[in-house]
Amino acid sequence: MRLRHAVLLGVLAFVVGTLFRLYGVFQIGFFRMFGTMGIGIIGLYAVSLVARAQVEAGRGELRRALNECGLEPLELAAPTQFGTRREAMAGAPGKVAVIASLGVAQHGQRGALRRLAQAVEDAAAWRGEVEAAFAEDGIDVDSAAALVLLRRAAGQAEKRIGSAAGVRVLNPEGLAGWLQEGGLAAADGWEGREHEAALYASRSEQDALAPGRRPEGSS
């Protein structure tokens, strides 16, 4: 937890405690009402901090998997804290893959699975954008897409939703293996196609960078 979050929680707790002490002295319901509301606000804020920490931890695992495969993340503006985020791309001669992430929670079924289905559609759409960009340049590639769940286990239900759209749904610890199986982990020959890097740029409103590829000799 960052210092500013701890300070804010401490201030909120102090204010709530003060309100209840004032209620005890003056017996005015106004103080108790706002004190009770303050407890609810503290609870919601604490839950949001835990969720954010889980997302950051999951994204850290994802980026370590990319690093293991010699890839680097794209620096794209995230749509929302828990929305679909375009994390990275990987390429090899005749192959391309896009990697997105989602911070949907483990709890909840219908709502969480609806968000998952939308995220799968987003990942599939991104893959389509990349395919179209290559096709415009007369290049035929085999494409793949993965959706990495940062806070939720990739179970059978989640995988079925992804499979219906041709998107692999997995957790961060499975990403490196998926890339290696597809021959997309720091693939040989990719440097010879640098002129195609710009084709990876998304046609969406986000500003995309060229695909991550660790420079030779870097650690």
In this prediction, residue 75 has a pLDDT band, given cuts at 50, 70 and 90, of: low
Span 179-219, pLDDT tens digits: 888 877 654 444 323 333 444 443 333 333 334 433 333 33
8-state DSSP, 84: -
Residue 172 CA to residue 175 CA, distance in Å, equals: 5
Per-domain residue ranges for the chain? Answer: 3-54, 73-200
pLDDT of residue 173: 93
Range 90-104 average pLDDT: 85
Beta carbons within 10 angstroms of residue 187's beta carbon: 20
Q: Which helix (H) or strand (E) holds 170?
A: strand 167-170
Range 80-92 average pLDDT: 74
In this prediction, residue 2 has a pLDDT band, given cuts at 50, 70 and 90, of: low
Longest dimension (CA), the chain: 79
Question: Read out DSSP for 76-91?
Answer: ---SSTTS-EEEEEEE
Residues β-bridged to residue 145: 98, 167
Span 111-162, pLDDT tens digits: 888 889 999 999 999 899 888 888 887 878 888 999 999 989 999 999 999 9
Residue 85 CA to residue 206 CA, distance in Å, equals: 11
Residues with Cβ < 8 Å from 139, sequence gap 6 or more?
196, 199
8-state DSSP, 199: G
Residue 88 CA to residue 179 CA, distance in Å, equals: 12
Range 26-30 average pLDDT: 87
Residues with Cβ < 8 Å from 104, sequence gap 6 or more?
82, 112, 115, 116, 119, 149, 151, 152
Token reading at 44 = 């919601």
Residue 74 carries which side chain, given as an amino acid letter?
A: L
- Least trusted range by pLDDT, from 21-25, 75-79, 89-93: 75-79
